[in-house]
Amino acid sequence: MKKVVHWSTKDVLLWLTNVGMQEYSEALRHLNGKGLMQLSKADFQTAPLALVTLDGGRQLLDKMETLRIEHHIETHKNRHANGHAILAVNSEVNGNKPERNGVVNEFHKERIQIPMPEITRSPFPEEWGKTGVAFVYATICFIFTTIMISVVHERVPAKEATPPLPDKFFDFFGRVDWAFSICEINGMILIVLWLLQWALLKYRSIVGRRFFFIIGTLYLYRCITMYITTLPVPGMHFKCSPKVLKELEVKYGILYRQDNVILSGTHTHSGLGGYFQYTLFMITSKGYIKPSIKAIVNGIVKSIDIAHRNIKPGRIYMSKGELEESNLNRSPHSYLNNPAEERNKYKSNTDKQVTLLKFTDLDGDGMGMLSWFAVHAVSMNYTNQMVSSDNMGYASYLLEQEKNIGFLPGEGPFVAAFASSNLGDASPNIRGPFCANTGLPCDYLNSSCPIGGLKMCVALGPAGSDMFNNTKIIGENIFKRAKDLYGKARQEVRGPLHAAHQWVNMTDVTVQLNSTHTSRTCKPALGHSFAAGTTDGGGDLNFTQGAVEGDPFWDGIRDALLGAPSNETQDCHQPKPILFSTGEMTWPLPWHPSIVDVQIITIGPVAIVAIPGEMTTMSGRRIREAVKQVRIKYHTHTNVGTHTHARAHTPHACTPTH
């Protein structure tokens, strides 16, 4: 037998193959027998040997130890024919020289037995076992991905009801019918070629193991991506809406759908929180709160159940009027940035218009009313810690109590609904902003005080700092005007009923500015003035309203913690300095909705527009005028009511100059 120390590199590679350690062939291809016997456990802790297996070389070290023992025994066999011998020769004492390896008078031999481990080898190589584990991993990932595809498929609306979002690629390239077949054929050819190549490889187990691990990981990534990706369906940004519609579908089939049911809030700042799935809103409510969802959904579904049980033929009447001394523009300087010719069309820098629909049965008995008025429901200020429907809710309470004599609140047959309109800059604190520490008016440009800054600038309601009386006074004003218009409503609403709903990717909409210029929307972002708050509740830091320049200090902190806004987003939002580029922030969930839904319901000459944003005075007026102009093209004079905060919530929507 050739001594190990005399092995060549080929002998070492042959031995590795014979003992089933061929995975080390690449790492030890330059090592001869002497170098092999000098390997120690420390060598398997560093590259390249540490990269071969995860057992720290334990198996190979065991086989090397066996090789050393075999080599040691073979060496001694070649040196002594009878193995180890201890010679004790009596004649040596007498001065006679003993003969070696022969029979000598009084020659004594003692045989020493060296235990040798039994060399066994599993009929099933360990590498194939690892490949089997990788195959099981890939199979599990494939099963989870298949299940996730089924779940996601159930959430995607039908193409007939909601067309897919526009695809930029197919905007420029036509559809090729045979392209999909070619892709399938190419895919099958590649699979067959890979299998043939794999079958001819020497180390099939290692390649197979890596293949299954990569495929399984790709399936796992796909599963996770499908689970967390924002789909263009309602459930991804307003949790209440899909739950309500799902329950209504179970009870009433297709009678109540997302196109003919408008869900909107009065935007009270004392309402429940935790029902949005976006990080920015979760921060203010300290997370997603399931009891809030349950309470809101149950309340909405119950109200629709009651209305459905009391369906009867009836009539609708409309009336309009104005309400004074109930709202104030809290950003008057920004309003003045709108074009003068546009501002001159209106008497006030807030929307004073009240639009009311009166519902009666065929006998003329009142069943309910729906009105729109632009005012923030913030008469209950930020110190209030209890749930409150605020001034709008108080107006509803007063009118329902007057119509439902003998009934407890909320249990009578007459329903008075007061909806929010273009209230983005309309405050109920009609006495205006004053510095709490000096009693002087706040700075007109940025609503701050010389001493104390934004925090000292507080807007006061008609009753001063008494938020309960402020709520009562504004609520009574709205109630009295609605009651008056309800009694004067004589114009009957007649005509067909239509409803339409659409999902819009607001990050990529091309807007036609005029006959020669277009513009494009971009990802949402919050400016520095966002952190300043409003005179209804200012911020705690040194931000100011109307800021057109960023702050290097806060921008530096933002860049370090959240990352800087992209150049594209900054250019698109000019001249607004970006504080948080929420459209580019996706951890742990997206910070802002990108895909929102818009809705319109028309009843004869009345159009009800449902918008997810919080419209300012002028932006709301523009939307009403735009809808009117479109309807006029079809020879229909239209009265428009705007439902803001419908289905979802996006930040304030204002004109570019505002």
Q: What is the per-residue pLDDT across 149-191, written as a single tens digit (0 to 9) for each? A: 766 665 565 555 555 555 656 666 676 778 878 888 998 998 8
pLDDT beyond 60 at 77: no
pLDDT-wise least confident of 36-45, 232-241, 257-266? 232-241
Q: Write down the pLDDT at residue 584.
A: 85
The end-to-end CA distance of the chain, in Å, is 94
User: How much is the pLDDT for 539?
Assistant: 65
Whether 105 shows a pLDDT value over 70: the answer reads no
Cα–Cα distance measured from residue 83 to residue 75, given in angstroms and rounded to the nearest whole number: 10
- pLDDT category of residue 289 using cuts at 50, 70 and 90: confident
* Residue 358 in this model has a pLDDT that exceeds 60: yes
Supply the DSSP symbol for 50: G
Q: What's the 3-state SS for 543-583? A: CCCCCCCCCHHHHHHHHHHCCCCCHHHHHHCCCCCEEECHH
**Stretch 131-135: mean pLDDT:** 88
Instruction: Return the structure tokens found at 637.
Output: 């004079």
Closest CA to 423 of 474, 499, 467, 383: 474
The answer to whether residue 414 scores a pLDDT higher than 90 is: yes
Token pair for 532: 């300043």
Beta-ladder partners of 533: 538
Under 8 Å between Cβ of 486 and 368: no
Pair 649, 614: CB distance under 8 Å = yes
Lowest-pLDDT choice from 85-94, 269-278, 340-349:
85-94
Cα separation, 627 vs 608, whole angstroms: 10
Nearest partner of 422 among 365, 354, 473, judged by Cα: 354
Token duo for residue 641:
């009511």
- Among 241-250, 283-292, 608-617, the range of highest mean pLDDT: 608-617
Q: Residue 538's Cα: distance from chain center in Å?
A: 28
CA dihedral 630→631→634→638, nearest 10 degrees, is -160
pLDDT value for 92: 44
Where would I find the H helices in 22-113?
33-37, 58-79, 90-93
Exposure string for 527-550, b = 16+ CB within 10 A, e = fewer = bbbbbbbbbbebbeeebbbbbeeb
**pLDDT digits over 593-639, tens only?**
888 888 888 888 888 888 887 889 998 899 888 888 888 877 666 67
In whole angstroms, what is the distance from residue 134 CA to residue 299 CA?
51
SS3 385: coil
109 or 568, which is more confident?
A: 568
Domain boundaries, the chain: 4-74, 244-506+594-653, 510-584
Which pLDDT score is estimated for 647? 63
Query: In sequence order, what are the beta bridge partners of 457?
Result: 435
Sign of CA dihedral 591, 597, 598, 600: negative
Cβ proximity of 389 and 419 under 8 Å: no
Percent of the chain with pLDDT over 90: 16
pLDDT at 90 over 60: no
Give CA–CA dist 534/36, Å, rounded: 77
Residue 355's nearest CA partner among 164, 52, 111, 603 is 603
Q: What is the pLDDT averaged over residues 572-589? A: 84
- Output the pLDDT for position 230: 38
pLDDT at 461 over 80: yes
Mean pLDDT of 315-329: 92
User: Is the pLDDT score of 273 beyond 70?
Assistant: yes
**Is 84 labelled a binding residue?**
no
For CA atoms 319, 323, 327, 329, the dihedral sign is positive
Nearest to 578 by CA among 619, 524, 651: 524
CA distance 525 to 466: 35
Q: Which H or E run includes 370? A: strand 366-373
Across residues 236-243, what is the average pLDDT? 59
User: Of 244, 264, 357, which is closest to residue 644 (Cα–Cα)?
Assistant: 264
Q: Is 590 exposed, middle or buried (0-12, 13-18, 19+ CB in 10 A)?
A: buried
Least confident of 19-28, 130-139, 233-242: 233-242
> Which of the residue ranges 30-44, 415-429, 558-572, 592-606 would you say has the lowest mean pLDDT?
30-44
Residue 267 in marked binding region: yes
For residue 441, what pLDDT is reported?
87
Q: Is the pLDDT of residue 536 over 70?
A: no
Give the pLDDT mean for 536-550: 70
Least confident range of 11-15, 73-77, 525-529: 73-77
**Is 617 within 8 Å of 335 (Cβ atoms)?**
yes
Peptide linkage before 524 cis (omega within 30 of 0): no
pLDDT tops 70 at residue 94: no
Beta bridge pairs of residue 534: 537
Instruction: Report the range of poorest mean pLDDT among 221-225, 305-309, 343-347, 397-401.
Output: 221-225
Q: Please, how many CA atoms are within 13 Å of residue 468, restricted to the half-sphere of its CB? A: 1
User: How would you classify the pairing of strands 595-603 and 497-505?
Assistant: antiparallel
Looking at residue 34, what is its pLDDT? Answer: 81
**DSSP H or E stretch at residue 130:** helix 126-155
How would residue 394 be classed by pLDDT, with cut points 50, 70 and 90? very high
What is the spatial distance between Cα 274 and Cα 289, in angstroms, rounded to a whole number?
Answer: 5
pLDDT at residue number 355: 92
- Report which of residues 82 and 5 the model is more confident about: 5
For residue 74, what pLDDT is reported? 63
**Structure confidence at residue 352 as a pLDDT band (50, 70, 90):** very high
Annotation: CATH topology of 4-74? DNA polymerase; domain 1 (1.10.150)
pLDDT of residue 344: 93
- Residue in 382, 371, 253, 265 with CA at minimum distance from that of residue 322: 371
Residue 331 a catalytic site member: no
Amino acid identity for residue 559 in this structure: D
Name the active-site residue from 427, 581, 594, 619.
427
Place of tokens 């933002």: 558
pLDDT tens string 294-312: 888 888 888 888 888 888 9
Question: Is 376 annotated to bind ligand?
Answer: yes
475, pLDDT greater than 90? yes
Has this prediction a pTM greater than 0.75? no
Q: Residue 558 and residue 569: Cα distance in Å, rounded?
A: 15
